[in-house]
Every structure is written in structure tokens, then in C-alpha cells.
Amino acid sequence: MSMHPAFFFPGQGSQSLAMLAELAAVHPQVRATFDEASETLGRDLWRLAQEGPKAALDQTVNTQPVMLAAGVAVWRVWREQGGAMPSVMAGHSLGEYSALTCAGALTFEDALRLVAERARLMQAAVPDEQGAMAALLGLDDEVVIALCRDQALGQVLEPVNFNAPGQVVIAGERDAVERALDAAKAVGAKRALLLPVSVPSHCALMRDAAAELTARLEQTELQRPSIPVLHNVNVATAESPEQIRAGLAQQLFSPVRWVETVQAVAERGVRLAIEAGPGKVLTGLNKRIDKRLTTLPVFEPDGLSHALEASAHV
């Protein structure tokens, strides 16, 4: 059994107005991290995260750098408070950039610029209203895979987030996604709903964006991380900067294999995980994935204290 925790970083969808406000009131490192990010990108990310408007915070081009800053801020507070070094890290989609930054593979400044460009490319890849994502609940993975194949009818339609048993997100062209919603209900899905996102992430519609991101990644200095980071695309660690670049580019049009990631962490003997960032999305998913792993969310002072105490007694 590992005596060190895992660190998980949430991605797009975990953002909320006034995120990390309570933690920032106690730990100046939070605001300092956001100030650094704001200076790098030339926009006030802290004000956006605190005051919105929510519609602006939820825009991909804003959400991604805000969530990166949030993950790094929580990590810095954790280390400042003497929190245990993790044995492994992972991030859900965008959260992978937070993991790589905190593991030392990327500088914070480079990560911010990369994520801002990633968001811009993703937003530009598909015209408004032509792509969509939807969550299907209560269906086996194999059923969702077959459903996407059957309902594509020549369009792009793919399972893209394997988030938990019985919870899969699909993405693709809007018409195909809407067909899949009707088909999912017909085969017994407990819920099938469109997600309020502007970009159909992790499907083939992102291939052009990935090609352009590859060029940007080639210009970015990367190091081998000091802490192992499990990548979304293959649930494996990268042994070189070239492998990291390839994984990040491929991630844009490949499924997020979150169930396998959490299972792989538990198989390493890890029994405690920290969700570093706003909300409890990953905490909720992880409970359904592997009962051996306890995940504690850290986004406010009480949660931080609880997690620090728990990690000291693992």
C-alpha cells in the first residue's frame, strides 16, 4: 500500500462563481497564483472567477486558463502547508495540464499560454451550434459505443468521456448527438441530456485543432515530470517530452479514460486521493469507480485541513 496520496485535477465543468474565495481569504498564495496568471495572459482571471458574469466564465477560452490557475493555486497551498508529496497525479481532460505543471513538466507561464491557445483552437474548430456533447447515464459502455456507431449515419459521433460506470459523455455533430439522445432513451438510459458546452471536445472534430496545437507544443519546453502523471489517452506515464507532446495533442480528439485512470491509481496501492480545484466532480465519480480509494476535495479551508490530517495518517 502506498503511503503517499494521489492528486487529481478537475477540468472544464467544475468552475463556479466565487470559486476558491474562502481558501484565498486564508491563504494569499491563491490570489498570488491568479495574479501571476492574469499578468501572463493580460486579463483579470481572478475577477472573472469571482464576479463573472457566469456566461463569460463558462466560455471555453476563459474557463480553461481559470481552471489551470485554480489547480496550481491549490497545489501551491498544499505544499506551503507541508502536505505530503503525491505518488502519482492525473487530470481530467484540461486537468492534465494542471497535473503536468504541478509535477514540474511545464512552467506555469508556459502552461497558461498553451491552455489559452488550446482553448482558442478548440473554439475555432467547429462553428457555433454545429457540435454538441451529451451525458448518457445508466448504460453500459459497450451499449454506448454501439449506439454511437449506429446513430452516426456518416457524421461524427463518439463516446468521449468514460467518467464512471454507467456515465459516459458523447460528442460530435449536433444532429448526430440529438439522434443518439433519442436512441439512448429508447434502449433504457436513466438520463440522456445535452451538456451546456460550446465545443464538442475529444472527438474527431478536434483533429484540426490538434494538428495546430502540435506546432505550439513543439515550441514549448517540457521536462520529464518529477511525479508520475497518468495521461488520459493511454492511462500511462510519459517517459520523454516527446511522448508528453504526443499525448497532449492526441488528447484533443481521444476519449478521456477516467474509469481506467482511477482504477490504475488504486492498483498502485494508493488509498487516498486529493481533488485539487473547485467542486467535487471527481470525488463523486471516484466513489463510483473504485471503493478502495478515498478522494477528498480541497477547495476551501476545512477541506484543506481535513485532507492534510488524512494524508498525515495514511
State which H helix or E strand residue 137 sits in.
strand 131-137
78 within 8 A of 102, measured Cβ to Cβ: no
Q: Pick the catalytic residue from 93, 98, 254, 311.
A: 93
Say which DSSP state 239 is in.
S
CA-to-CA separations, 258 to 36, 255, 282, 311, in angstroms, rounded: 30, 9, 9, 23
Task: Please give the DSSP secondary-structure letter assigned to residue 102.
Answer: H
Grid cell at residue 231: 495521461
Q: Which of 162, 161, 159, 132 is nearest to 146 (CA)?
A: 159
Could you tell me which residues come within 8 angstroms of residue 115 by beta carbon, excluding any fewer than 6 positions away?
Answer: 64, 65, 68, 94, 97
CA 185 – CA 249 distance, rounded (Å): 33
Radius of gyration of the chain (CA): 19
Helix (H) or strand (E) holding 168: strand 167-173
Catalytic residue among 201, 202, 231, 254: 202
Annotated catalytic, 93? Answer: yes
Task: Point out the residues that are catalytic.
Answer: 93, 202
